Structure 1
Amino acid sequence: MSTLDKAASVYSEQGAKKLFKLASENLYRQGYTTVNSLLDYGTHPYDKEWDVLIIIDACRFDLFQEFAPQHEIYDKFESVEPIYSQASSSKEWLTKTFVEGSRSEIANTSLIAANGFTSEIGQVEFDELEEVWRYGIHPDYHIVPPEPVTDAAVKCYRNTDSDRYVVHYNQPHAPFLHCAGKYDSAKDELGATQNVWDGLEKGQYDHSEVWEDYGKNLLDVLDHVNILVEDFSGKVAVSADHGNCLGEYGIYGHPSHCPVPSVRRVPWAVTEGGGKEKYELDNLETEDLEQSDDEEIKEHLSHLGYF
């Protein structure tokens, strides 16, 4: 559908008010995208020191600062500080980190990823690439829960000899797995999209309640981060690809190329891995698991709010 046809459809179906709102949002989006391209700030992960980098998707620094101390892992961190991500969405972060990164460093890195946008950086040559989303999408939530990522990361770590490892979890990104269905969804009854941010913007949900569920989703994934910290050796860093806006400058969620600090300010927590290798790992043969087709992958990204 052409832009003109779309505008006419919006006008005829929902009136001039909706058309004006759509035009305003598009203009606003173009504005912050332009500002972002001019500012172009943030920390490239390979400029930091780490052997294992664990990415918890969509985690704001203030969320981490409030909830992470409730978890036993927090006492293991030698330092916790805020940094600014170079991106405001997963696709943007993956592109800037790996497509635009150092070929030699990435060639010695293993990436274990729950996020389906790795399908769009296929030209990158990793030491090992384990795309957990190809077989680990939960049929009810339409995203990858933490468990298969932890299994795949441990298996990769124990069976490869990469210089560096990046483990990318989906959580605390919405949906909040402990309360699936609590927040309405345009897709299905589970609330398995980023509709929570749209509903928050419209006043359908209570801000403090959403914040608590967002924090609970963080605590749940920290259970798995803790497993890796105990199991792996070397310097382990825990960070995020981006955060979420909760109304700052009128923005909700995490649109790409957004310069607003709330969506770019993320944690950088560092500890030394325990090297215990005690995690009991079943014989995970991923080639024997059912692989997701293109439609399922698109649905997975849709349920993360990207379509």
Structure 2
Amino acid sequence: MQPHIPYRSLDVGDRADADERGAAQRSVWDLLQMGDLSRADAWDAYRDNLRWVLDDGVAPLLENIDADRVVLSSDHGEAFGEWNLYGHYRHVPAAALREVPWIVTSATDSGQLEPEVEPEEIHLTDDTINERLTALGYQ
């Protein structure tokens, strides 16, 4: 789970969502920009998602692998009104979007978790990998 929208603690739509009439719902960013959601409430929702990811995703991983060096990072940031931007955009040099965390730590396997299913080996062609990266906006 990414720590960005949708925020689990806010019951609002996403620009990609639509109601039964097909009208787009207002996103967190729309509400924030129009003043219908405070910056503090938006940040609280962001932090709630981040805590959720760290506590329920990253922490169990760090307790169940052995690694001298583990890097935690992100693919992008989000703007909460900086440069009058809300959300995240490609090709915008705003620090809020470009500067991402880079945390170096370690991990020790406590043996608490045992996988129930052996991971299936997946083989992808370079073309498939490039298509997927392009669809995500990375190429």
Name the TM-score, length of structure 2 as normaliser. 0.70
The answer (yes or no) to whether the contact 1:175–1:194 under 8 Å persists in 2 is no
Unaligned runs of 5+ in 2: 20-24, 122-134
- The residue number in structure 2 matching 1:266 is 100
Structure showing greater radius of gyration is 1
Residue matched to 2:84? 250
Secondary structure of the 1:266 match is coil
Cα distance change of structure 1 residues 248 and 269 upon mapping to structure 2, 3 Å threshold:
same
- 1:239 maps to 73
Aligned equivalent of 1:183, options 4, 12, 20: 12
Structure 2 SS opposite 1:171: coil
Asked if structure 2 preserves the Cα contact closer than 8 Å seen for 1:194 and 1:253, the reply is no
Question: 1:73 matched to which residue of 2?
Answer: none
TM-score, with length taken from structure 1: 0.34
How many Å apart are 1:275 and its aligned residue? 2.4
The residue aligned with 1:218 is 50
Computed over aligned residues only, the root mean square deviation of the Cα atoms, in angstroms, reads 2.6
Distance (Å, rounded) in 2 between the aligned partners of 1:281 and 1:214? 30
Where relative contact order (Cα < 8 A, 6+ residues apart) is larger, the structure is 1
Relative to 1, partners in 2 of residues 1:208 and 1:275: Cα closer, same or farther, differing over 3 Å? same
Residue 207 of structure 1 is matched in structure 2 by: 39
SS of 2:72 mapped into structure 1: strand
Partner Cα separation in structure 1 for residue 90 and residue 60 of structure 2: 31
The one-letter amino acid paired with 1:256 is R
**Equivalent pairs, count:** 114
Could you tell me which runs of 5 or more consecutive residues in structure 1 were left unpaired when the two chains were aligned: 1-169, 288-300, 302-307
Q: Return the offset for 1:256.
A: 0.5
**Take 2:98 and 2:26, find their aligned partners in 1: how far apart are those partners?**
18
What do residues 197-239 of structure 1 show as CA deviations (whole Å, max 9, x unaligned)?
Answer: 1221122211101110110000000011011111112211111
